Amino acid sequence: MSHLVSASEPSDTPTPDRGTGRRGGFFGRPRGRPELYSSYRQEQALFNTRAKAVGAAVLIAIAVLLPFNVSDDVLRILGLGLVLAIGGIGLNLITGYAGQVSLGHAFFVGVGAYTASVVAGDPEGRAFGLGITVIPVWILAAGAMAALCGVIVAPLATRLRGLYLAVVTLGLVFLGTYVFTEWASVTGGPGVGREAPRPVLFGDDLTLDSAFTSDQKLYWFFLALLLIGALAARNIARSRIGRAFGAIRDRDIAAGVMGVDLARYKLIAFTVSSFYAGVCGSLLFVANRHFGPEQFGLIMSIQFVAIVFIGGAATISGTIMGALLIASLPRISAEIAHLFPFISTAPNTSPNIFEVEAILYGGLIVAFLLFEPRGLFGVWLRMRMYWKSFPFTY
Amino acid sequence: MTQFLSALSIGLGSGAIYALVAIGFVMIFKATGVISFAQPAFLMSGAIIVSFLAPLMGFYVGAVLGVMAIGAVALLVERVAIRPMIGKAVFTIAIITVGLDIVIRTVAGMFLGTQPRSVGDPWGTDVWVISGVVVQQRHVAAFVTATVIVVALLLFFRYSAVGLAMRAVASDQEAAMAQGVSASAIFALSWAMAGALAAVAGVFAATGGPIGNTLWLVALIALPAIVIGGFDSLGGAIIGGLTIGVAQAVVSTYHNQWFDGSGVLPELTTNLGPLMPWVIMLAVLLVRPHGLFGTKEVERV
């Protein structure tokens, strides 16, 4: 890949066809030279080639129109995938971009879920609630509360590195599960749980069928929020903060020597990641309708780790692909059970679909890290490279 | 006092189990620099394989053979999934072990079936009562076995050529290789021994009742133990494991007296015991980020 960053690029305004003398092209890029960057701003652009911009627009259009062509049960899976993608992006920001290993994502997801249900909950109900049903309020409250927990944990976490941090964040999950189980007035208690917050948008309850079915409405709702979250994360990643994250991930001592404030940027990473987790938690609650306190445990944390690594560390689009794949795993294993009649659907005989699902999980993590460390995004890169260099293999 | 001593005996028994798993973690970490999250799977499958072997050939022979079998499985796993990743980032390898753990644990769980399975231990829930102190025989057995294994391991590291090679690789991999030590053979051996230790721990964790679906969680409690002791300290792993076992047992015993009725934190109705390892871990880390006996990382620019 050729990067041609011109040394004399101090101005803020992007000037077209700098130094090439030819007109046209995307961002003043000469035609037929998609790899030629003539300014730093060009290289750092959100979509640095026209093909990417067009591709993203087409993908979004397809995603928006999908509910008209796809049945509701598939939409429900996709909607869950979109929600998981939001949490996955959060984990990717801290683990993929900043290199800080976290196995405690489920804790922040849980904090978000219960904050949302407290803020939006029925004040007359069995569990504690404030009754503020305005959607932005409970979503942002969920994110903010989880971010606050991230801020509280960060001072301890920033002193630790690598696998010590992984074990400590694992401890967070166990502490969280205990508190969630214990604090029955907020979480409804083990085995009981509580109602999800009601998503009422413009006076229309998204969990009830009206002109569109509930699954369609929820899908659009989740899609809109994912687009906002993905765009924000992409922008964080290509900003000063994102470059600091990358420096910390690649070699934290070197980054510190070069003037990156390690404690500050690790704190930012924890806070932003927890905010995404909190928002994801509130939406997961909506998508699932019901959650017991024991579900925000180690298994959910591993689910997010799987999303990040199967999708591809340090890529936003990869995370979305990974989340959609993980969300559809139960369906995939159910389909496998149709093909192989010896796999049962009852949980008390084996082999059953739940075991198939677990093996797929673990197997996918191992296989991707061994054979395609860049994840699904790496698969896509390979396909792209094949067509770019066609008919030459190298 | 008798209540405390009974709690202490439970704590030392379960602490010995945690210490065995913790030693496995430390051995893999010292050799390869990785925490293997696959230990819970080896613990679980160790207990399950012994539950199949014990009815055929008795508990003792079955336990030894089962432990050796799990050691062989760990060796195979290292060869297939870990060896190709040598030189990659440690976190990547750690995540691979998470995936391996899920796969192995699920496959092992398929053999559990719906009937309750037990490892067929000769102790069951038998107790000795020594002047009012209730001591469960299985806890004594676990503690004695762990002590024997630890002493044997220390002698092995101290006096055998292979043990010397393992110490050499742990202290300086390149220098050891320059002296003709095969580092990859040491990695494989570390995995096999760690897997076998986890299997022993699994057998003792499963004594006194049927094997549950959540038996593997025992291995996770060894993680705070090694954090407390320091990732690269065998002695720290043993002390950490015993400390956690005792703290857990003591808090479990006295939880009702401390938290119910006395007015202190009346909401805490569920036993705090299982939470103690993680609380102690956080407390230790606040003071010493590399554990009590761990080597402080030298930061070189």
pLDDT in tens, A185-240: 888 777 777 877 777 777 677 777 777 888 888 999 999 999 999 999 999 998 99
| B209 assigned to some structural domain | yes
The span from the CA of A368 to the CA of A377, in Å, is 11
pLDDT at A15: 46
| B30 assigned to some structural domain | yes
Mutate to test the interface with A, among B98, B114, B216, B286 (most CBs of A within 10 A): B98
Chain B neighbors of A260, CB-CB under 8 A: none
The span from the CA of B226 to the CA of A167, in Å, is 10
Q: Which domain holds residue B137?
A: 1-220
> ∠ CA A139-A88-A233 to the nearest 5 degrees?
70
- pLDDT mean over B51-55: 93
Using H for helix, E for strand and C for coil, what is the string for A306-342?
Answer: HHHHHHCCCCHHHHHHHHHHHHHHHHHHHHHHHHCCC
The residue with greater pLDDT, A130 or B243, is: B243
| B139 assigned to some structural domain | yes
Per the prediction, chain B carries an average pLDDT of: 90
Measured between CA atoms, how close is A111 to chain B, in angstroms?
Answer: 18
pLDDT at B132: 83
Lowest mean pLDDT among A3-12, A73-82, A233-242: A3-12
- pLDDT mean over A367-388: 90
Closest residue, chain A, to B276 (C-alpha): A175
Beta bridge partners of B133: B130
Lowest mean pLDDT among A256-270, A288-302, B233-247: A288-302
Mutate to test the interface with A, among B30, B77, B101, B278 (most CBs of A within 10 A): B278
Per the prediction, chain A carries an average pLDDT of: 85
pLDDT at B43 over 60: yes
pLDDT at A306 over 60: yes
| B237 assigned to some structural domain | no
Measured between CA atoms, how close is A363 to chain B, in angstroms?
Answer: 6
- Chain A to chain B Cβ contacts (< 8 Å): 122
Residue A174: which of B267, B269, B275 has the nearest Cβ?
B275
What is the Cα A48 distance to its own chain's centre? Answer: 22
The span from the CA of B120 to the CA of B204, in Å, is 11
- pLDDT mean over A32-41: 73
Question: Residue with structure tokens 């009590």?
Answer: B292
pLDDT at A27: 55
- pLDDT mean over B10-39: 94
Measured between CA atoms, how close is A51 to chain B, in angstroms?
Answer: 32
pLDDT at B108: 93
Summarised one tens digit per residue, pLDDT across range B179-217 is: 999 999 999 999 999 999 999 999 999 998 899 888 999
- Under 8 Å between Cβ of B104 and A359: no
| B45 assigned to some structural domain | yes
Mutate to test the interface with B, among A178, A366, A374 (most CBs of B within 10 A): A366
Closest residue, chain A, to B225 (C-alpha): A167
Does residue B166 sit in helix, strand or coil? Answer: helix
Measured between CA atoms, how close is B161 to chain A, in angstroms?
Answer: 31
- Angle, to 10 degrees, between the axis of helix B2-32 and the axis of helix B234-259? 140
The span from the CA of A241 to the CA of A243, in Å, is 5
The span from the CA of B22 to the CA of B10, in Å, is 18
The span from the CA of B19 to the CA of A271, in Å, is 35
Cis geometry, peptide bond prior to residue B289 (ω within 30 degrees of 0): no
Residue B281: which of A171, A349, A366 has the nearest Cβ?
A171
Closest residue, chain B, to A360 (C-alpha): B103
| B257 assigned to some structural domain | no
Q: How confident is the model at residue B116 (pLDDT cuts 50, 70, 90)?
A: confident
Question: Residue with structure tokens 């994801």?
Answer: A280
Residues on chain A bordering chain B, Cβ-to-Cβ distance under 8 angstroms: 99, 101, 156, 159-164, 166-168, 170-171, 174-175, 178, 181-183, 253-254, 257, 298, 302, 305-306, 309, 348-351, 355, 358-359, 361-366, 369-370, 373
Q: How confident is the model at residue A29 (pLDDT cuts 50, 70, 90)?
A: low
In chain A, the percentage of residues whose pLDDT exceeds 70 is 90
The closest of B59, B102, B58, B56 to B77, measured between CA atoms, is B102
The residue with greater pLDDT, A151 or B273, is: A151
Residue A366: which of B81, B110, B282 has the nearest Cβ?
B81
Lowest mean pLDDT among A92-101, B149-158, B248-257: B248-257
Cis geometry, peptide bond prior to residue A391 (ω within 30 degrees of 0): yes
Q: Which two tokens stand for residue B161?
A: 């050529």
Closest residue, chain A, to B299 (C-alpha): A253
| CB contact (8 A) between residue B301 and residue A254 | yes
Q: Which two tokens stand for residue A236?
A: 């964080």
pLDDT at A14 over 60: no
Per the document, the length of chain A is 394
pTM attached to this predicted model: 0.89
Measured between CA atoms, how close is A306 to chain B, in angstroms?
Answer: 8
pLDDT at B301 over 90: no
Q: Which helix (H) or strand (E) holds A109?
A: helix A105-120
Beta strand pairing status for A204-205 and A290-291?
unpaired
Residue B92: which of A167, A361, A373 has the nearest Cβ?
A373
Residue B91: which of A162, A175, A366 has the nearest Cβ?
A162
| B260 assigned to some structural domain | no
Task: Count the domains in chain B.
Answer: 1
pLDDT at A349 over 80: no
pLDDT at B260: 64
In this complex, is the C-beta atom of B131 within 8 Å of any C-beta atom belonging to chain A?
A: no
In this complex, is the C-beta atom of B58 within 8 Å of any C-beta atom belonging to chain A?
A: no
